[in-house]
Amino acid sequence: MVIKCFENLIFCCALICFIADLQAAPMKLRIGAAASLQDVLQEAGEAWLKTTEKGTKLTYNFAGTSTLVRQIKWGAPLDVFISASKENADEMIQAKLGLEDSVLSLASNRLVLISPMETKTEALSLEQLAKLERVKLATCDEAVPVGFYTHSYLRKVGFYERLKSKFVYIDHARSVLGMVANKTAAFGMVYRTDAVSEARRVKVILEASPTDHPPILYLGLVLSRASQKARKTATSFLKFLASSEGQTFFSKHGFKQPGSKFAYR
């Protein structure tokens, strides 16, 4: 008898919670974004929340752009996708998973070679790096944007074959950064903004000329999976990021303006 009462009580509680949840359900915008955007998006997101409807929430899934593409194809519940490469954004649109008219260019970046702060050299040419023995260069697979830019750059400047044996592969830009910051790897190629975010533990010893690799472009888009209401909120979030107010956050973290030359269309 007591157990029966208890069961009913739990059931009622669960029901009340469920109904309460449904009624108060705030708008929750789910964002999948390139790992290199971690700091800037969280900060800009906070600012955007203040300007928007009360109760709106943001949840983030930061990962390598290529991982996000997989996840979205597998059906990950996301409303917004912010890619670190134009190719991946295009892939989403071609697969009809992203809304073509929602695409906005948000920022641009530079590619740098980093090493732990303790390293004695202040600057290093790729020629010198190629001559170093028993050092590892952390990078990503070419399917990951930062890996794609790194490999394209090394091919363009003619060092790919000579440096290939030093490569150690990891998930995304932030993991490369972590690997160099904790001194697991002696070198790594990341975005300039990543290096800036860990300025106390890593230093830039070479900056790739932007003409030597495809332009690094961050594109945001609304996913077709988003509900009508979420689409509206998502569009306003992306527009905020592209606005002059949103751009101040990007420049604060060292991102470059996307520039009209690189605009999506």
Binding flag, residue 99, another protein (CB under 8 A): no
The least CB distance from residue 140 to another protein, in Å, is 9
What Å distances lie between residue 188 and 24, 59, 150, 163, CA to CA? 47, 29, 10, 12
CA–CA separation, 162 vs 182, rounded Å?
25
Binders of another protein among residues 204 to 263 (CB under 8 A) are none
Given a contact cutoff of 8 angstroms between Cβ atoms, the answer to whether 114 and 177 are in contact is yes
| Count of residues engaged in binding another protein, rule: CB under 8 A | 21
- Asked if 90 touches another protein (CB under 8 A), the answer is no
Q: Determine, following the binding rule CB under 8 A, whether residue 41 of this chain makes contact with another protein.
A: no
User: Candidates 28-36, 38-46, 168-176, 239-247 — which segment interacts with another protein by CB under 8 A?
Assistant: 168-176
Whether the Cβ atoms of residue 255 and residue 193 lie closer than 8 Å to each other = yes
Residue in 99, 168, 206, 242 binding another protein, rule: CB under 8 A: 168
CA torsion, points 164, 62, 196, 214, in degrees to nearest 10?
50
SS3 125: coil
| C-beta closer to another protein: residue 69 or 234 | 69
204: left (phi over 0), alpha (psi -120 to 50) or beta: beta
- Under the binding rule (CB under 8 A), the answer on residue 155 touching another protein is no
Dmax (CA) for the chain in angstroms is 82
* 3-class SS of residue 111: strand
To another protein, the closest distance from the beta carbon of 113 in angstroms equals 17
Minimum separation from the CB atom of position 127 to another protein (A): 23
Instruction: Decide if residue 134 touches another protein (CB under 8 A).
Output: yes
| Residues binding another protein (CB under 8 A) | 64, 66-67, 69-70, 134, 136, 138, 141, 143-144, 167-171, 179, 182-185
